[in-house]
């Protein structure tokens, strides 16, 4: 077991819906979902990410954790509905719903699903959130953001103790904006999502869709580097993130238990050479939001 797995988080959107540009298997049945969760836990992963918007991911994850006997042994991150209104009592209602679906007593973090929801947190909402924290129903509140400017604003918010942000070998925007360093100085947690850019890092060049064609040259160079390092495409992507952002937690997704096992086994057993780290940082030219934000993809 690689020691780095303690900083990995299994994203479970695939358990509740057909998700990902490179998804070959679709949504797994409950037996396969259970095998996925078991593979992650057996490999040292003890934190799972879900959301109310991920189909029935919360209930499937809860059923699997309960059946496997992991409910009291793992940490779970979830998010209220993207339709969150920020009205009095909304935080409490949303949290109660997620806890019920998951069948657990406490969340590690409850993250607003959209960065614009940060503006809905009135003084009354902040007080409500503080009561929920004091009652031990969760460890911290956070927000999932898409832009560095909002991330910097969120880090200053009194109720926010965690951010979920996109970062990958493709995407260095948040590091360049100082988000990771500021979060460390404020003792606030960073969860990195989109480590594979919805599976693009794993795709063969001839499968890259036209709207992502600008990534092809860099992807070709990246694949050659993987061969040179003796690591899989996902293994190098995860290892690089874990090494470059040592205080962050990194999400990864999987459609099958075999993918979970392969991802965990593919992590570099020793630190990546400095020249490899630097080469990856320079490999992908700066990309626009239309490439880095899947919500904006012109499929």
DSSP string of 26-92, one letter each residue: -S--HHHHHHHHHHHHHTT--EEE--TTSTTHHHHHHHHHHHHT-TTTSEEEE---TT----TTHHH
pLDDT of residue 289: 87
Percent with pLDDT over 90 in the chain: 82
- Which range is most confident: 8-22, 207-221, 238-252? 238-252
Q: Kindly indicate the confidence band of residue 23, based on its pLDDT and cuts at 50, 70 and 90.
A: very low
Domain ranges of the chain: 3-288
Q: Class of 3-288 per CATH?
A: alpha beta
Among the residue ranges 15-19, 103-107, 204-208, 286-290, the one predicted with the least confidence is 15-19
- Mean of the pLDDT values across residues 120-139? 94
Residue-wise pLDDT tens digits, 202-243: 899 999 999 999 999 999 999 999 999 999 999 999 999 999
pLDDT of residue 26: 67
Q: Is the pLDDT of residue 96 over 70?
A: yes
Average pLDDT, the chain: 93
Q: Which residues of 112-126 are buried (b: 16+ CB within 10 A; e: fewer)?
A: bbbbebbeebeeebb
Helix (H, G, I), strand (E, B) or coil at 160: strand
Q: Kindly indicate the confidence band of residue 1, based on its pLDDT and cuts at 50, 70 and 90.
A: low
Helix orientation angle between 233-244 and 216-229, rounded to the nearest 10 degrees = 90
Residue-wise pLDDT tens digits, 258-271: 999 999 999 998 99
pLDDT of residue 25: 60
pLDDT of residue 21: 43
Q: Is the pLDDT of residue 298 over 80?
A: no
- pTM for this entry: 0.94
Q: Which of 38, 55, 34, 58 has the alpha carbon at shortest distance from 46?
A: 38
């Amino acid at each position: 077991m690689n020691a780095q797995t303690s900083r990995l988080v299994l994203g479970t959107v695939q358990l509740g819906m057909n998700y990902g540009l490179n998804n070959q298997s679709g949504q797994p049945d409950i037996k396969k979902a259970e095998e996925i969760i078991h593979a992650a836990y057996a490999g040292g992963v003890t934190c799972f990410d879900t959301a109310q918007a991920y189909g029935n991911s919360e209930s499937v994850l809860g059923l699997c954790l309960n059946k496997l006997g992991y409910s009291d042994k793992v940490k779970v991150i979830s998010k209220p509905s993207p339709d969150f209104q920020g009205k009095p009592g909304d935080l409490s209602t949303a949290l109660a719903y997620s806890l019920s679906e998951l069948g657990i007593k406490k969340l590690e973090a409850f993250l607003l699903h959209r960065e614009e929801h940060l503006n809905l947190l009135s003084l009354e909402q902040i007080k409500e959130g503080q009561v929920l924290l004091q009652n031990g129903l969760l460890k911290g509140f956070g927000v999932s953001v898409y832009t560095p400017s909002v991330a910097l604003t969120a880090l200053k918010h009194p109720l926010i103790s965690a951010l979920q942000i996109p970062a990958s070998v493709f995407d260095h925007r948040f590091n360049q904006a100082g988000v990771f360093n500021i979060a460390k100085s404020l003792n606030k947690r960073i969860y990195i999502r989109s480590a594979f850019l919805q599976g693009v890092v794993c795709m063969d060049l001839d499968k890259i869709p036209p709207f992502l064609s600008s990534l092809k040259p860099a992807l070709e160079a990246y694949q050659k580097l993987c061969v040179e390092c003796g690591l899989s495409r996902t293994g190098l992507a995860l290892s690089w993130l874990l090494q470059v952002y040592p205080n962050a937690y990194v999400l990864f997704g999987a459609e099958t238990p075999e993918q979970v096992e392969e991802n965990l086994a593919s992590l570099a057993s020793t630190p990546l050479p400095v020249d490899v780290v630097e080469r990856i940082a320079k490999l992908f030219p700066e990309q626009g939001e239309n490439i880095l934000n899947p919500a904006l993809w012109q499929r």
